[in-house]
Structure 1
Amino acid sequence: MASLNKVMLIAALGKDPEVRYTSSGTAVASLSVATTEKTKNSSGEWEDRTEWHRVVFWARQAEIAGEYLSKGKSVYIEGRLQTREYEKDGIKRYTTEIVGEKLQMLSPKGDRNNSNTDGSTSNNSGGNKSGASDKFEDQDIPF
């Protein structure tokens, strides 16, 4: 039986990437990104519905994320879902995150360097395609 585990997002960063290094020197970047869609509520009025996603990039892509991305920037991310188990205060916990495989910056060219992770320059200057606001407050981030 065939299977597919694929995630594709156009999202806005909720905070600056957190880059750290493993004991062997491999870079790991953690991102918090938001996607927003407009939906009608029961009274027929439009509302924004924001979904938060955790994304992890490894190696060179992690270094690029840390160097070029910042809070409010728009990005295109491809990856796969991964659930992992950890223990905190003696309690088993689980978290599901996106393991990033492709990263493309979408913010306008005037915003820092706008390049793909393969080193080529992006021609997309359309700004935030997700509909998510470019302004986030720290209290808006659920984790």
Structure 2
Amino acid sequence: MYNKVTLVGRIGREPEYRATKQGAGVLSFPLATWERYRKEDGEYAEKTEWHQIVAWEPLANNFLLYLTQRGDEPKGKGLLVLVEGSIRHRRYQDKDGNTRYVTEIRADEIKALPSQKNGDSNRAEDSDIPF
């Protein structure tokens, strides 16, 4: 069996760092990926998919440190990244006792990629840094 995912996309909001009850650090953020396709009328359209990314320490700590070094506060929204990991499905009980199901990508590697967005460009050498 093989469970491997590779995604390239933009971070949708600032990554959220928290510690579990056991003290393990975990970082999570939504990642937007997109594809361009041709519709039946010949026009092109884009479809965006959202993925929930979860990174555990030490990857979580290393990536948070990278984001902090890019500015005074961690800034990740809009950053183009490559994420490699595996698909995980889990369920939990919400505060009302309802069963909720979650699909997420557990990251094994995150790499910043060179990007030109809103005048912000990541350094080209950043693409070679695995967190």
Structure-1-length-normalised TM-score: 0.73
Aligned position for 1:32: 30
Correspondences of 1:1-143 after superposition (within 5 Å): 3-67=1-65, 68=67, 70-88=76-94, 89-108=96-115, 110-111=121-122, 114=126, 115-117=129-131
Consecutive unaligned residues of structure 2, counting only runs of 5 or more, are: 68-74
Rounded Cα–Cα distance in structure 1 between residues aligned with 2:43 and 2:121: 35
CA RMSD of aligned residues (A): 2.0
Contact 1:30 1:56 in 2 (8 A): yes
Give how far 1:110 is off: 4.9
Give how far 1:20 is off: 0.4
Contact 2:112 2:122 in 1 (8 A): no
Count of aligned positions: 115
Q: Deviation per CA, 1:46-78: give whole Å up to 9, x if none.
A: 011101000100012112232316000011111
* Greater shift in the superposed pair: 36-45 or 62-71: 62-71
What SS does the aligned partner of 1:63 have? Answer: helix
Rounded Cα–Cα distance in structure 2 between residues aligned with 1:90 and 1:24: 23
Rounded Cα–Cα distance in structure 1 between residues aligned with 2:14 and 2:108: 19
Rounded Cα–Cα distance in structure 2 between residues aligned with 1:9 and 1:70: 16
Rounded Cα–Cα distance in structure 1 between residues aligned with 2:29 and 2:63: 9
Contact 1:73 1:107 in 2 (8 A): no
> What amino acid maps onto 2:104 in structure 1?
E
Rounded Cα–Cα distance in structure 2 between residues aligned with 1:54 and 1:40: 27
Give how far 1:22 is off: 1.5
Q: 1:36 to 1:77 in 2, by over 3 A?
A: same
Rounded Cα–Cα distance in structure 1 between residues aligned with 2:25 and 2:114: 24
